[in-house]
Structures are given as C-alpha cells and as structure tokens.
C-alpha cells in the first residue's frame, strides 16, 4: 500500500478552515476567556511583588499578604472617598438653582442676541418631570409581566457580572501559585531549535513591559499629586478627588488631562459660579500639569522604554480606540511596547536574509534575457 500525499491546495484549505473555526470558537467563548485573560494579566503584574516576598515566606502566604494589602487599601480609599463625594454632590445640588439662573439669564440671552439659536429655558422643578418623561419614552412596559421580565434579565446579568468579579481573584491566585511551573511547562513545549530565541524575545518583552509599567505608575502618582495640590491651593473642594482621577486616567495619554480639566471646570462652576479668576487658575493648573508630564515626568521616568516616538504613541492610542474602544486605549501602549520588540527582532532577522544582502532575488525581480 503506497502513501499518497495530500494535495497542497487541500492542505492549505484545511489550515484556513481550521483557523476560521478556531476564531469562531474563541469569539463564542469570549465571556469565558475574558476572566482568564484578566486574571493572567493581574498575576503578571503581582508576580514580582509575590516573588520578592516568597524569598522570606511561603509563596501562598505571600499571595495572601498581597491580596490583603490591596483589599485593605481599596476599602480605606472607598471609606474616605464615598462620604466626600456624597458631600460634594449635596453641595452641587444646592448650587443647582444658581447655575440654572446663570444659564437662563446669561447664556440664553447671549445666544439670543448674537445668533439665531434659541436655547430652551430650564427650571429646577422641571428636572423631575424631564426624568419621568425620559423613562416613559425610553423604557416602555406594556404590562407588569414585561416589566418583571426586564427586571429579571437585569438581575441575572448583575449576578453573572458579580460572579465574574469573584472568579477573577480566584483565578489570579491559581496563576500566581504555580507561576514558575507554568512558565517552565510553556518553555519545555517550545521546539528545541527555537527555544533560546523565543526565551530571549520573551525576556525582552517582559523587561520592556515592566519598565513601562513601573515608570507609568510613578508618572500617574506624581501627576495626580501635582494636579491635586494645585486644585486644593486654588480652593476647589473636589480638587483632591479630581487630581487623583486625572492622575489615574493619565495611564492613557491625554485622557487624564481631558477628564480632569472638564471635571475641574464643572466643579468650579458649581462651587464659585462663573468666576473668571478661578477658571483661569484652573486652566493654568492643568497647563502646568501637562507641561510637567510632557517635559519632566515622562522623559525622566519613561524615556524611551517603549521605543516609540510621540507620533507613534498618538497613532497607537487612536488605533487601539478604533479597534477595541476604551479597552483598546488602555492596552495600546503596553501592546505597542511588545510589538516594538517583536518588530526589532523581525527586522534583525530580515537583515540576515540573502534577499536583503542581494544574493537572491524573488522570481518577480529576476532578469530574463
């Protein structure tokens, strides 16, 4: 019996079909895969700290200590943040009539005098009526059964999301507990001729990611402190919270500046009204923060750790937002750091090829005499 080779066309067709089927399965299993991916990322971030603590104590105890520290920090932050936010919301609600009066008497009159735009008049007592009308327009319930089914669906979605939130720390614990063994198993699975090169590339990606993450965290903390101190000195009651949020959001380039600036302007209008002195001070504070981030913090703490020019940074953020929305903006720069390492090795390999050295040409470029 002779062995018959498979026709190349059918072999390629089988590979393409297998890839398509795998992509469809991954898409259908996305709700299951996402918690595992998120847990793996958290384990990767926490592993350096756990590894350092595990030199002195058992690894599972180090993981529990890291978990407890993070949980306690979040609880203390919420314990301080929630009452402060509630107080500010109450103050904002008390100031709402004054803001509406300014809108009706100044903004509407200016538009009426200088343009053809006619803005509607707003009254504080009409807010509840507007809200009720909006609910009736966008959430129509034909009967009590329809309403109960909608509530049931919303409850099930909430329970599902809560279950995923509980699942992620558990998965992160298991990833952390067997981190070294898991990496060794992946290393053994690499074909021997490529093992050394793959490990080298993985180590360079790890160094680039860790350097970027450490530098970016320092930038976030220092920038948040710069914003918060300035806003507190100006006298903005929400200055500390806005500064912290702006610092955290600066993980995405230019997002922290945008969110913090808009929030500070709104808070200033609620607290001081249309006071151009305070508005100018807030604008100056954010310009100082932006200058400190661009010319001091990022060059000193990040430098060229990801090897991307400002032009490519902007392109990476916009491309990430276009592909994956807000999540794409968050992961744009870390992914770009990894792609930069891969591209560098790919280009180095390309320089060793006969095609690059001119020893061999593609059939398309062969000269026929």
pLDDT, averaged in runs of 10, over the chain (369 residues): 62 84 86 83 87 86 88 84 74 69 74 72 59 54 52 58 75 86 84 85 86 84 90 84 85 81 83 79 89 76 66 79 79 83 86 72 54
Question: How many helices and strands, by DSSP H and E, does the chain display?
Answer: 13, 0
pLDDT for res 198:
86
Q: What is the reported pLDDT for 178?
A: 85
Length of the chain, in residues: 369
pLDDT at 123: 64
Sign of the alpha-carbon dihedral angle for 212, 217, 218, 219: positive
Please give the Cα distance from 368 to 23 (Å, whole number): 43
Please give the pLDDT value at position 110.
76
Gap between the Cα atoms of 222 and 227, Å rounded: 9
DSSP E strands: which ranges in the chain?
none
Nearest to 42 by CA among 66, 25, 19: 66
Cβ atoms of 319 and 286 within 8 Å: the answer is: no
Q: Pick left, alpha or beta for residue 325 (phi over 0 → left; psi -120 to 50 → alpha; otherwise beta).
A: left
Dig out the tokens for 18 from the structure.
């297998």
What pLDDT does 146 receive?
55
Rounded Cα distance between 135 and 150, Å, is 14
**In this predicted structure, what is the pLDDT of residue 126?**
56
365 phi and psi, to 5 degrees? -100, 0
DSSP-derived 3-state class of residue 56: coil
Cα–Cα distances in angstroms (integers) from residue 194 to residues 41, 190, 198, 220, 366, in the given order: 25, 7, 6, 38, 32
Domain boundaries, the chain: 24-178, 190-351
Per the CB < 8 A criterion, the answer to whether 243 and 231 are in contact is yes
Q: How many angstroms separate the Cα of 31 from the Cα of each of 19, 20, 27, 176, 186?
A: 20, 19, 9, 22, 25
Closest by CA to 127, choosing from 170, 96, 160, 103, is 96
What pLDDT does residue 122 have? 65
Between 192-234 and 255-272, two packed helices, what is the crossing angle to 10 degrees? 20
Find out whether 234 and 242 touch, Cβ atoms under 8 Å. no
Given a contact cutoff of 8 angstroms between Cβ atoms, the answer to whether 156 and 150 are in contact is no
Distance CA 17, CA 14 (A): 5
Neighbours of 210 (CB within 10 A): 15
Task: Output the pLDDT for position 275.
Answer: 76
> How far apart, in Å, are the Cα atoms of 236 and each of 95, 225, 228?
14, 15, 9
pLDDT of residue 241: 82
Q: Around Cβ 282, how many Cβ atoms within 10 Å? A: 23
- pLDDT confidence of residue 97: 72
Check: CB of residue 212 under 8 Å from CB of residue 253.
no
- Distance between CA atoms of residues 155 and 149, nearest Å: 10
Interatomic CA distance for residues 226 and 291, integer angstroms: 11
């Amino acid at each position: 019996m002779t062995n018959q080779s498979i026709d190349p066309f059918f072999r390629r067709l089988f590979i393409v079909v297998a890839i398509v089927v795998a992509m469809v399965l991954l898409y259908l299993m996305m709700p299951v895969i996402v918690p595992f991916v998120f847990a793996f990322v958290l384990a990767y971030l926490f592993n350096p700290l756990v590894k350092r603590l595990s030199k002195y104590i058992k690894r599972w105890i180090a993981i529990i200590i890291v978990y407890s520290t993070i949980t306690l920090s979040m609880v203390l932050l919420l314990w301080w943040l929630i009452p402060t936010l509630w107080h500010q919301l109450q103050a904002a609600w008390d100031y709402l009539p004054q803001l509406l009066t300014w809108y009706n008497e100044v903004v509407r009159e200016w538009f009426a005098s200088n343009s053809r735009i006619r803005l509607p008049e707003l009254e504080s007592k009409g807010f509840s009526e507007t809200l009720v009308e909006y609910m009736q327009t966008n959430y129509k319930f034909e009967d009590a059964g329809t309403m109960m089914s909608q509530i049931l669906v919303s409850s099930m979605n909430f329970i599902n999301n809560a279950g995923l939130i509980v699942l992620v720390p558990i998965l992160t614990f298991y990833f952390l507990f067997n981190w070294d063994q898991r990496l060794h198993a992946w290393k053994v699975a690499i074909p021997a001729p490529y093992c050394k090169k793959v490990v080298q590339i993985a180590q360079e990606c790890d160094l680039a990611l860790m350097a970027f993450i450490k530098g970016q965290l320092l930038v976030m903390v220092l920038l948040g402190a710069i914003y918060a101190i300035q806003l507190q000195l100006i006298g903005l009651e929400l200055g500390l919270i806005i500064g912290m949020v702006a610092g955290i959001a600066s993980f995405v380039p230019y997002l922290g500046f945008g969110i913090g600036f808009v929030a500070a302007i709104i808070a200033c209008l609620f607290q001081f009204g249309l006071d151009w002195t305070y508005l100018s001070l807030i604008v100056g504070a954010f310009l100082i923060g932006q200058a400190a981030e661009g010319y001091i913090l990022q060059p000193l703490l990040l430098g060229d750790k990801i090897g991307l020019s400002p032009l490519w940074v902007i392109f990476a953020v916009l491309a990430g937002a276009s592909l994956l929305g807000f999540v794409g903006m968050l992961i744009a720069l870390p992914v770009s750091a990894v792609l930069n390492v891969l591209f560098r090795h790919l280009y180095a390999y390309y320089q060793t090829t006969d095609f690059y050295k001119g020893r061999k040409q593609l059939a398309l470029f062969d000269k026929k005499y």
